[in-house]
Amino acid sequence: MEAPLVLVDVDGVLNPFRRPDRNFRRHRVEPDGQSFRVWLDARHGRMLRALAAEHGAELAWATYWEDDANLWIAPPLGLPRLPFVPLPRFPGIEEGRSLGAWKARHVAAWTGERPFVWFEDEPDAAESLADNPGVGDHLLVGVDPVTGLTAEHIETAATWLTGRRLPPAVAE
């Protein structure tokens, strides 16, 4: 059985819309030569690494930052280089699809039947995942983009990952 994935969004999850507490620090980033600032909390890196290690999971980015997250977000959080879900730019309203539905389609295609937890702030992503045939067992942990990722979100993911564990094989 393949290890589960822990998918992490950046904006609204690791980079909340405003500074929720004093543990968040401003970082200047310049992906694609565009300079702006993000709020990051180094505790997130430790929590995500511990979650993945404890449950034999693989961390991956599910963000429009794609590989830029490895250059600009991972280092201040103490995260290693992570694989990422390739996400083409959102083309706008397509057959009534929202940004969350668009992203969910690509997450479902990339993960296939592999189980995963996804920390995401787009409210309609969970419903959209269910609409994708062949998507593996998953849990979307909805994150409020104003407060960002919390210890409670990590605990929710840990509980789900623990519940997925198969009992040890019985020796004959």
Q: 122-151: per-residue pLDDT in tens?
A: 888 877 887 777 888 999 999 999 999 999
Question: What pTM, to 2 d.p., does this model score?
Answer: 0.90
Domain extent for 124? 5-164
Report the number of distinct structural domains present in the chain. 1
CA distances (Å), 137 to each of 59, 78, 86, 104, 112, in order? 16, 28, 20, 14, 10
In the structure encoding, which two tokens stand for residue 39, read together? 């709020």
Residue 100 lies in a domain: yes
Domain assignment of residue 171, yes or no: no
Q: Is residue 18 part of a domain?
A: yes
For the chain, give the longest Cα–Cα distance. 62
Q: Is residue 15 part of a domain?
A: yes
> At 135, which CATH number?
3.40.50.1000
- 170 domain residue, yes or no: no
Does residue 169 lie in a domain region?
A: no
Residues of the chain with pLDDT under 50: 166-172
